[in-house]
Amino acid sequence: MKIDSIKLGKKRRGARRRERTRTDILNAARDVFAEHGYHEASIAEIAERADIAVGTFYLYFHDKDEAFETILDEGFEVTRSRVMEAIAAQEPDGATLSIVIHAILHHAYEQRALFRIALTGSKQLTQPSRVQHAIAEIIATILEDAHRQAALIGYDLPILTSLLTGMITQAIAWWFEHDTPDPDTMANQVIRILQHGLPAHVFTSQT
């Protein structure tokens, strides 16, 4: 019985050690991809950042493509969970578009490295749709609820979802080059445009 207990303890410690190493590799890869983009990132630099041998990298990932995909898959799953948690905490009886926009932009600001990888460090030109799809799923849920309550009569929901997703995505991309404004200010700017639009004289000729 004692021998079995010792073996079990070693097995658990080994599993924890492997999980820590995997996490270290992904954290290092996230930094390298964010700094250099997919094509310029190297497994050697990822291994150096993670303080492991290059051979150890291959014990966890087949190649840098698998590491890249894992970062995006796990990162956006966390994004969805965090945003939904924030929404539930602020509005237990149902989310509003305002709360959703604030929640998305707050999380995106905190996770700028992840979003930079997905939007600018992509391995292929179609990769940005991954970010947009994650955001669009959340936005679509809110708009569909509003549509069922007859609050969006006359609007094309797929087009509206795409337009809102594009606006939020561009707000996130702004932070790749600027530290300001803060998430609340950015969210309020987006919401103000959605609620009130631009001044009428912007659309008329000036004499």
**Backbone conformation region of residue 67, classed left if phi is above 0, alpha if psi is from -120 to 50, else beta:** alpha
Task: List Cα–Cα distances, 38 to 23, 48, 112, 116, in angstroms.
Answer: 19, 17, 16, 11
Domain shared by 14 and 71, yes or no: no
Number of domains composing the chain: 2
The rounded mean pLDDT for the chain is: 85
Q: Residues 52-101: pLDDT tens digits?
A: 999 999 999 999 999 998 998 888 888 888 888 877 777 656 568 898 89
Q: How confident is the model at residue 117 (pLDDT cuts 50, 70, 90)?
A: confident
| 196: containing domain | 65-207
- Rounded average pLDDT over 157-172: 94
∠25-27-32 over CA atoms, to 5°? 90
Task: List Cα–Cα distances, 151 to 133, 140, 157, in angstroms.
Answer: 24, 14, 12
Q: How confident is the model at residue 34 (pLDDT cuts 50, 70, 90)?
A: confident
> Residue 1 has which token pair?
């019985």
Q: What percent of the chain has pLDDT over 70?
A: 85
Higher-pLDDT residue of 43, 86: 43
Is residue 207 predicted with pLDDT exceeding 60?
A: no
Contacts 24+ apart (CB under 8 A), 22-28: 22/60, 24/50, 24/51, 24/52, 25/50, 25/52, 25/57, 25/60, 25/61, 25/67, 26/67, 26/70, 26/71, 26/74
Q: Residues 125-157: pLDDT tens digits?
A: 445 567 888 889 889 988 988 888 888 888 999
The whole-number pLDDT of residue 125 equals: 44
Higher-pLDDT residue of 178, 122: 178
User: Measured between alpha carbons, how far is 58 from 142 in angstroms, rounded to an integer?
Assistant: 42
Residue type present at position 4: D
Cβ density class 97-135: b for 16+ within 10 Å, e for less: bbbbbbbbbbbbbebebbbbbbbebbeeeebeebbbebb
Domain shared by 116 and 50, yes or no: no
Domain shared by 72 and 51, yes or no: no
Looking at 14, 32, 61, which one is the last position of a domain? 61
Higher-pLDDT residue of 110, 10: 110
The whole-number pLDDT of residue 122 equals: 57
Domain shared by 81 and 17, yes or no: no
Q: Output the domain CATH number for residue 160.
A: 1.10.357.10
Domain shared by 102 and 121, yes or no: yes
Domain shared by 49 and 70, yes or no: no
pTM: 0.76
Domain shared by 56 and 84, yes or no: no
User: Measured between alpha carbons, how far is 47 from 28 in angstroms, rounded to an integer?
Assistant: 8
Domain shared by 10 and 96, yes or no: no
Q: Residues 17-32: pLDDT tens digits?
A: 899 999 999 999 999 9
Higher-pLDDT residue of 114, 50: 50
Greatest CA separation found in the chain?
Answer: 93
Is residue 197 predicted with pLDDT exceeding 90?
A: no
